[in-house]
Amino acid sequence: MEEDISVTSHSEGLNGLSHDHIPLEITNGCSNHKLVMNGVVKGCNGGLTNGNAPLGSLPISALKQNGILQALTEGGNQSSLTGERENVELEKAREEWDALENILPAITEDSTPTPLISFNEALQYFQTTDLGDLLKNIQPTIRRTGLAAITHFLFGPPRLHKDLLEERDLVFAIAQCPVDNSQPVHMRVLQTIYKRLIGSRLDCPRFGPHWENIGFQGTDPATDLRGTGFLGLMHTLYFVMDPETLPLAKDIFRLSQHPTQNFPFSVMSINMTRIALQVLREEALTKECNRRQQVVGVLNEFYVATYLYVYQLWKTQQKTIADSGFVLREVELFAKKNPKQILRRLECFLKEKRAGELPRGTSPDPQARQPSPSLGARSGSKAKEMHFTGVCDLQADVEGDARLI
């Protein structure tokens, strides 16, 4: 005959501070008092539960955390599980845990990352690639007619030397080149830019919100290159891979992360490329190109100089993203009218850096110590190797509303 017996359980509180008398009910010879061992409740029938569910329903992570799975797999407590069902569930749990531990992230610390690519290597790729279809559509100079053409011919800047025309056209052709996901050089350029700005040595996915961390507007950097083509990436690559300009690039990137003065670093960089391209198209850089006997190097330097001007203006005048339209318009007009002064600013800035101690942020990375295609050799055959990559066809009239593109 079954009998229900009420028993009072005496328990001593922690540190002897309290004593609770809890009535217990014993039904069918089994108490409702629950014994907790290592965070796991031992039931009346000897089975292990978590207070709500039997062992079989516990997540594997909980088993491992409480030391239960290890104990069971070692066979030390196998006697506590009776019946074929428990053994089957135990084996299943062990297999699931082993499978879970074998799941590795796509990229680990032991993975071999994609090697960084220098500006010169990326440029050489474009120099040896057939860009014939793109060259057919470039507009390297402003089309002038009538009196404007006569005035430009008589009083305008000098014409670009004939031996530099091919280099100039290459720039504008690359400017029309889109990102090709199947081209390893294109992917290495993207990876290098991301790693140098973020400071990571691991590759990142081709698409994803992480690109917003370096100032792109969405999950795909290619969508922000309208108007500059691959030249927008090539200029940024030059900026972060040249040992003299890398500290400046990091300073600008740091300012772009400011709580109130923040701005999209990469989108702003693309706008600097757009301005530099337009100044080249209007032949305002022709005199300097003829003097140095190169186009790519001059354009690279002018891009950096323009970004430096924006950086100094933005920082000293406490500009915010709401001022971006005004700032871009002012910088573009100033750059077109004073290209020599823009370049001179950069020259003085770098000279001051070289005169002092090694600028903070200068990378000792061997990749970054390769000769600069614009700030390195400036004459002879060396200058001829400095060809650069270009920007998409832009409208000649861009003096209207300037904005982040």
3-state secondary structure 161-179: CHHHHHHHHHHHHHCCCCC
Residue ranges in 45-117 assigned as alpha helix (H): 60-65, 68-74, 84-101
Per the document, the length of the chain is 405
What is the number of other CB atoms lying within 10 angstroms of the CB of residue 173?
27
Residue 159 tokens, joined: 């014409």
171 backbone φψ class: left, alpha, beta (φ>0; ψ -120 to 50): alpha
pLDDT score, position 98: 63
Beta bridge partners of 335: none
Report the candidate in 188, 224, 230 with the shortest Cα–Cα distance to residue 206: 188
- Interhelix angle for 231-241 vs 296-316, to 10°? 80
Q: Are strands 48-49 and 19-27 parallel, antiparallel or unpaired?
A: unpaired
Task: Report the alpha-carbon distance of residue 2 to residue 213 in Å, rounded.
Answer: 70
For residue 158, what pLDDT is reported? 84
C-alpha distance from residue 54 to each of 47, 82, 86, 157, 393 (Å): 7, 13, 11, 86, 69
Strand spans (E) along 266-402: none
CA–CA dist 27, 33 (Å, integer): 11
Per the DSSP assignment, residues forming a β-bridge with 26 are 5, 31
Closest CA to 390 of 151, 211, 126: 126
**What pLDDT score was predicted for residue 178?**
95
Q: What is the pLDDT along the chain (405 residues), one digit of tens a residue?
A: 445 544 444 444 444 444 444 454 444 445 555 544 444 444 544 444 444 444 444 554 454 455 544 444 444 444 454 566 667 777 777 776 665 444 434 444 446 889 999 999 999 999 999 999 999 989 888 776 677 666 666 666 788 999 999 999 999 999 999 999 999 999 999 999 999 999 999 999 999 999 999 999 999 999 999 889 999 999 999 999 999 999 999 999 999 999 999 999 999 999 999 999 999 999 999 999 999 999 999 999 999 999 999 999 999 999 999 999 999 999 999 999 999 999 999 999 999 988 875 444 444 444 444 444 544 333 333 444 443 333 333 333 333 344 455
Which tokens sit at 130?
């057939």
Q: What pLDDT is recorded for position 174?
A: 96
Rg (CA), the chain: 34
**What letter would DSSP give residue 217?**
S
H-type helices in 102-163, by residue range? Answer: 119-127, 132-135, 146-155
Handedness of CA 236, 381, 174, 339 (dihedral sign): positive
Q: The whole model's pTM is what?
A: 0.64
* Predicted pLDDT at 7: 45
Q: Read off φ and ψ for residue 312, nearest 5 degrees.
A: -65, -40
State how far the Cα of 303 lies from the Cα of 301, in Å rounded to an integer. Answer: 5
User: Given the structure tokens 């690519």, which residue do they identify?
Assistant: 117
